């Protein structure tokens, strides 16, 4: 069973300051992250891409594992 608190969302646009602010604003998002054009950042049209990353803590009753997946725009 994955809890909302087991999921961490980050964004990578190459702008560390903006990406960190985005991550803080979405810290309590949970398992589902509806994206809008605003999530791409203010300089999206001038960037080469934007990656949204989900890191999830998985528990099997004996050990904890972390897995990651992402989507790029």
The pLDDT, as a whole number, for residue 28 is 93
Report pLDDT digits (tens) over 11-55.
999 999 999 999 999 999 999 999 999 999 888 888 888 999 999
pTM of the model: 0.84
Cα 62 → chain centroid: 26
The pLDDT, as a whole number, for residue 18 is 95
Interior CA angle at 13 toward 18 and 48, to 5°? Answer: 140
69 falls in which pLDDT band (50, 70, 90)?
A: very high
More confident position, 10 or 44: 10
If phi > 0 it is left, if psi is from -120 to 50 it is alpha, else beta; for residue 14 that is left
């Amino acid at each position: 069973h994955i809890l909302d608190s087991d999921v961490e969302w980050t964004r990578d646009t190459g702008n560390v300051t903006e990406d960190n602010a985005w991550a803080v604003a979405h810290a309590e998002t949970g398992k589902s992250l509806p994206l809008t054009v605003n999530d791409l950042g203010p300089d999206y049209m001038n960037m080469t891409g934007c990656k949204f990353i989900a890191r999830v803590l998985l528990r099997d009753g004996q050990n904890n594992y972390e897995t990651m997946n992402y989507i790029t725009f």
